[in-house]
Amino acid sequence: MRLRNVKYAKELIHSYPDYVVLKPKNHKGKWRDLFENKKPIQVEIGCGKGKFIYESGLYNPEKNFIGIEKFDSVIVRALEKLILEPLDNVKLIRFDATHINDIFKENEVEHLYLNFSDPWPKLRHSKRRLTSPQFLEKYHHILKDGAIIDMKTDNYALFEYSLMMFNQSDYFAIIDVSLDLYKDLPATNIQTEFEMKFVEENNAIYYIKAQHKGEIE
């Protein structure tokens, strides 16, 4: 998918360093210092235009939220939400999550959200899937013991693959699964932009909740 270039994106991003963290590696192990509180850190990989991360911060002021997105032309839309209605518990990072261990220390993250991630359907690209063994290994190092990963997708192949990867992992235990999240929708569910579109089209939303086991003997 080709993303439309937003000409002003880079300039706007650099104009709001309080919202978009420009040098995230400098804050590894010190994110609570940046937020100036001790609230738990929640991270969304692939925050897109920011509906989920913004509303999560809005409805959960007792937590800190960090949205990661690698495209300027997309993250600028999330930034616009914060400019219009600021929240002090939401930060954005323009970053490639492949290197997530460079910006978070061991046991620093308490909740991870994977919402409608790219399914990377070709086998040769499987390592890029956010639930590949390579990524689960990275999450193991940044998540606290007992931390949660919430995953939502409309792609059954990615859902099936993710179930298998979580089940095969030494680091995670699946604690909830749904083949159709909207049949018994949790009251706390917050939609993403993609989710709204898929629900309108009557597509099933698949869901996995996995818990981090912590250190393995």
Q: What would the pLDDT profile of 93-110 be if each residue is shown by its tens digit?
A: 999 999 999 999 999 999
Which band of pLDDT confidence, cut at 50, 70 and 90, is reported for residue 1?
A: very low
Q: Is 192 annotated as a binding residue?
A: yes
Q: Provide the pLDDT for residue 8.
A: 87
**Which strands make up the sheet holding 20-21, listed edge to edge?**
20-21, 90-94, 64-69, 41-45, 109-115, 143-153, 206-212, 172-178
Q: Provide the pLDDT for residue 215.
A: 64
**Looking at the predicted structure, is the pLDDT value of residue 2 above 60?**
no
Q: Provide the pLDDT for residue 5.
A: 60
pLDDT in tens, 55-80: 999 999 999 999 999 999 999 999 99
Spatial CA neighbour of 80 closest among 114, 119, 48: 48
Please give the average per-residue pLDDT across 191-203, as a whole number.
Answer: 94
Spatial CA neighbour of 4 closest among 73, 75, 77, 76: 73
Please give the average per-residue pLDDT across 197-204, as a whole number.
Answer: 94
Q: Is 153 annotated as a binding residue?
A: no
Please give the average per-residue pLDDT across 23-41, as a whole number.
Answer: 98
Q: Provide the pLDDT for residue 3.
A: 43
Percent of the chain scored above 70 by pLDDT?
A: 95
Dihedral pair phi/psi, residue 126, rounded to 5°: -60, -30
Q: Is 193 annotated as a binding residue?
A: yes
**Looking at the predicted structure, is the pLDDT value of residue 217 above 70?**
no
Which band of pLDDT confidence, cut at 50, 70 and 90, is reported for residue 168?
A: very high
Q: Is 154 annotated as a binding residue?
A: yes
Cite the active site residues: 118
CATH code, residues 21-212? 3.40.50.150
Please give the average per-residue pLDDT across 194-200, as a whole number.
Answer: 94
